[in-house]
Chains A and B, each alone.
Chain A
C-alpha cells in the first residue's frame, strides 16, 4: 500500500469513527434538519397570525441549536474526513476521486446552509417584528438547502452498499444514482425530523412557561410532526433495506446486537418494534396535549431514536461486508484486483507496503508480523481491546489459526481475505498465536487471583 497504516489501539478504528459519526449524524440530522425545521415552522406560524408563543418557543431553542450545530456538528462533520483520511487514506482517497463533483457541489450547499442559518439567527431580533415573512423565507431557504445537502451526500453514502452496477459499468451515474439513493434520502430526512420534533417536544413539555393552552397546541403540533416523521422513516427504511443486497444484510443482527444477543433470535426485532411503539406513544401523548406524559416519554423516545441512528449507521457500515468500496476495494484498503493477483501468484505483501512502522525497535520477524496484521486485520481488530484479536483467537491452536487465515472469507462472509505469501502466513500465525496465548495466560492468572 502507498500510505502508512494507522490503527487506533484498544478502541479500534470502527469504534473511533462511530463515536464521531453518530454524534455528527444526531446533530446534523436531528438538530440541523429536524429541530431547525420545527423552529422555522413555529416562526412561520407566528407570521401567519397563529400566536406569538410559537415564535417565542422558536427563539428560545434557536440559540443553543446554532451553537451546537456550528460547533460540535460542523467539527464532527469535518472530523469524519480527518478520521477517514488518517485511518483509511486509500479508501477515502479513491472515493473522493470518484465523487469529487457531488462533494464539491455539496460544499456550496453546505456553505449556503451555514450562511442562511447565521443570517436567520443574527437577524431574528431585527426581522421578527418588522419583516417576519422575510425571516420565514430565509428559514425555509435554509431548510431547503439542508435538504439539498442531505440529498447530495446520500448518493455517496448509498453507493457503499449497493454497487450492483458500478464495478462493471464504471460510470459515475451508476455509482451515484444507486438503488438506495431515494429511500436513504427520505430515511435520513424523516429520521432527522423525528429526532428534531422529539427535542422540541421535550423542551416544550419541560421548559415552556406559557399558558397551558399554548403549551397544549405546541405539543400537539410536535406530536403530529413526530407521527408523520416516524411513518416516513419507517416506510423509507422498509424500501431501503429491501434494496440492500441480501448477502450484505444477512449479518445485520450480529452487527447490531453483538454475538451474545444475536443468539436470541427475537431480541432485535422485538427491541425495534418496542422502540417504534415508544416513539408512536410519545407522538400520541403529545397530540393528547397534557404535558405529563410527554415529559415522561420524550426522554426514552429520544434515547431510542439515538439508538436507531446507531443501529442504522452500524448496519450501514457493517453490512458492506469485507469491502470498503464494494466491487473495488476490501476493508483492508487492498483492491480486489490486487488481492486477486497476489493470491494467484502467491506474492508477498511486505515488499508492497511502502511504510512499515519501525519505531518500536522490535525484532524483524515481530515487526514484519505486526505490519502484516495491520495491513490484513487491523481495520477491524485491535491486537487487544475492543474486538481484540487476542481474545477472538484465545484457545485456538497455532495450526488452527494458520488454517483460519487461509479461509477468512469463507469462515465469515464479512472478513477480508488474507493477502500475503505462505511464508508471511506462517509469520502472522506465530504472532497471532503468541497474542492469543498471552491473553489466555492473563485470563487464567486473573481467574486464579479471584
Chain B
C-alpha cells in the first residue's frame, strides 16, 4: 500500500499522544471560553441589576469587568485552533461527519461570534456613557454569544452518538430526539461552569481590592457551583450506561472538590478564598478528563471502522497510482495557450481530428457535429458561434476561453480546414424554377436575402446566416438532398437534381456576394 493513496492514514503522532495533546489544548481553550462567557454574562447582569436600581448607575467597576472580555475572547478563539486541528486528525470520522450533518448551525457560528464580539465590545465601551445603547448591545451580544455553546454542545453530543447519525441526517433535530435531554443539560452545564469560572476569575482579578464586590462574586460563585452540582447529577443520569470505573472515579473526585469549594465559600466561612485556586482547577481537570474518556470510548469504534475501510480501499487503489500520476503529469505539461491544444481537447471529441464531424464522442449526438472541413464562414461569425454555442444542439459555449485563446483556436481552424477561405462566386446563372423553389421553400427559414427569418430564429437550432456562412458545394448539395438530421432542415431529394444543384449555388451565393473574409 502506498500511503499517499489516502492521506487520512497518515498519523502525525501515536494515538495516545494525540489524546494527550487534545486534552491539554482543549482544556486551555475551554478555560478561556468559560472565563469569556462568564465575564460577558456577569457583566450584563451587573449592568441590568444596577440599571433597575437607579437610572444612571456608576459602572466604573463593571467597565473593568467588561473590558477584560476582549482579551479573554481573543485567547479563547486562538486557543481553539489547536483542539480543532487535533480533533480533525484524531477523530476525523466523527468530526467531519457531524460537521457536515450539522452544517448550517455550524456555519452560523461565524456570524454569531462576530456579532457577539462586536456588540459586546460596544457594550463595554458604552456601558458607562450611553445606557440605552449599552443595553441593546449587551442583550443582543450576550444572546448571540450564548447560542454558540448550544451549537458546540449539540455537535459534540452528536459526535459521541454514531448510532444516531443516520437518523439525524434524515430527520434533523426535534424535541423528541432521544439525546435532547443530554444536549440541554450539557449546554446548561457549560453556562453554569462559565458563571462559576467567570465569578472566580473576577473574584481574584477585578475585585481583589474591593471587598463588597468580592462578597457579591462569592455569592455568584457559590450559587453557580451549587447549580452545577444539581445539573451535573442530572447530566450524569443521561450517560449512566456509558460509565466506566475510571470515569466514575474522576467524577467522584471532581464532585468531592466541588463540595469542598462550596464548604469554603459558605457565608460564615473564614477560609481564605485562595484555597479555591487549588480546588477549581481540580474540578476542571477531573471533569474534563472524564468527559474526554467518555468521548474517546464513544468515538473509537466508528473511527477504527473508517480507518480499516480506508486502508482496504487504499490497497485496492494502489495499482492505479502510477496511471493517475502519469495522467496528472500530462495535464501539468498541457498549456492552453494555442489553438491546437484547445481543438484537440475541446473540439475533437465531436468534430474529429480531420474536422469531418466524426470524433470519439460524436456517436452520442442526435444532431451530427458540423463538418468543419466543408465550412466556409466569416471569422467573426465563427467566433460568435464558439463563444455562445448553438442552442438546440450539443455545441456548448466556450466563453470559458478568453479572447486570445479563441483567436488562437480560430487560427488553427483556418490552418487545418481553411474555414475562412472566400466562397467562390456562383459558377453559372440560376434557373427561374430554382429561384421559385428557393423563395417558396427555403426562404421561409433562410430568408430571401440569405439571412434568417423570424420563424427561422425561433427554431432549435436556428439555420445559419448564409450571408456570413457557407459550405462547399458538395456539402451543400448533400444537406439539401438528405436534410440535416435532428434539425428543421428537411430532405429535398424529390426535387430534380438540377434544382438541388441550383439551390446549393444559391445558398452559397450570399456570402460570395458579400465577399467578406
Contact = CB atoms under 8 A, between A and B. Distances in A.
B110 A82 contact: yes
Interface string B53-87: 00000000000000000110111011111101110
Interface in A29-75: 66-67, 70-72, 74-75
Given A93-B8, A358-B170, A78 B399 contact: no
B321 interface: yes
Contacts of A263: 387, 399, 402-403, 406
Contact of A86 (B12, B103, B321): B103
Given A96-B89, A400-B365, A340 B324 contact: yes
**What DSSP secondary structure best describes chain A's contact surface?**
helix
A86 B109 CA distance: 12
Interface stretch (B275-283, B331-339, B415-423, B444-452): B331-339
B80 to A, nearest CB: 7
Contacts of A337: 5, 317-318, 320-321, 324
**What DSSP secondary structure best describes chain B's contact surface?**
helix
Interface string A319-343: 0010000111000000111111100
A412 to B, nearest CB: 5
B215 interface: no
Interface in A91-128: 92-98, 100-101, 103-104, 107, 110-111, 113-115, 117-118, 122
A395 interface: yes
Nearest to A417: B327
Interface stretch (B129-137, B179-187, B388-396): B388-396
A264 B320 CA distance: 42
B118 interface: yes
B7 interface: yes
B365 to A, nearest CB: 5
Interface in B318-346: 318-321, 323-325, 327-328, 331-337, 345-346
A78 B393 contact: no
B88 interface: yes
Given A404-B394, A412-B400, A70 B73 contact: yes
A20 B110 contact: yes
Interface stretch (A186-194, A201-209, A233-241, A244-252): A244-252
B88 to A, nearest CB: 5
A295 interface: no
A411 B346 contact: yes
B328 to A, nearest CB: 5
A79 interface: yes
Interface string B301-320: 00000100110010011111
A82 B110 CA distance: 8
A4 B78 contact: no
B78 A110 contact: yes
Contacts of A245: 332
A341 B320 contact: yes
Contact of B4 (A170, A402, A406): A170
B396 A5 contact: no
Nearest to B166: A355
B101 A4 contact: yes
B10 A355 contact: no
B106 A82 contact: yes
A394 to B, nearest CB: 8
Given A115-B75, A406-B361, A67 B121 contact: yes
A407 interface: yes
A70 B120 CA distance: 12
A100 B349 contact: no
Contacts of A247: 331-336
A89 B100 contact: yes
Interface string B362-406: 101111000000000000000000010101111110011111111
Contact of B100 (A5, A72, A103, A400): A5
Nearest to B83: A107
A253 interface: yes
A83 B114 CA distance: 15
B472 interface: no
A396 B78 contact: no
B389 A72 contact: no
A277 interface: no
Given A74-B77, A168-B325, A263-B387, A399 B317 contact: no
A447 interface: no
B182 to A, nearest CB: 23
B369 to A, nearest CB: 9
Given A94-B7, A104-B85, A85 B95 contact: yes
A67 B350 CA distance: 58
A271 interface: no
Pick from B389, B392, B394 the residue with the most CB of A within 10 Å. B394
B256 interface: no
B117 A3 contact: no
B379 to A, nearest CB: 15
B416 to A, nearest CB: 17
12 contacts: A20-B110, A75-B117, A79-B110, A82-B107, A82-B110, A89-B100, A94-B6, A263-B399, A337-B324, A341-B320, A399-B365, A411-B345
Those 6 A-B pairs whose CB atoms lie nearest each other, nearest first: A400-B394, A395-B391, A259-B399, A89-B96, A71-B117, A94-B7
Interface of B: 2-12, 25, 70-71, 73-75, 77-82, 84-86, 88-89, 92-93, 95-97, 99-101, 103, 106-107, 109-110, 113-114, 117-118, 121, 169-172, 306, 309-310, 313, 316-321, 323-325, 327-328, 331-337, 345-346, 348-350, 361-362, 364-367, 387, 389, 391-396, 399-406, 460, 486
Given A97-B92, A101-B12, A335-B324, 13 more contacts: A78-B80, A81-B81, A94-B7, A94-B8, A111-B75, A114-B74, A170-B3, A247-B332, A250-B335, A327-B325, A338-B313, A396-B395, A411-B396
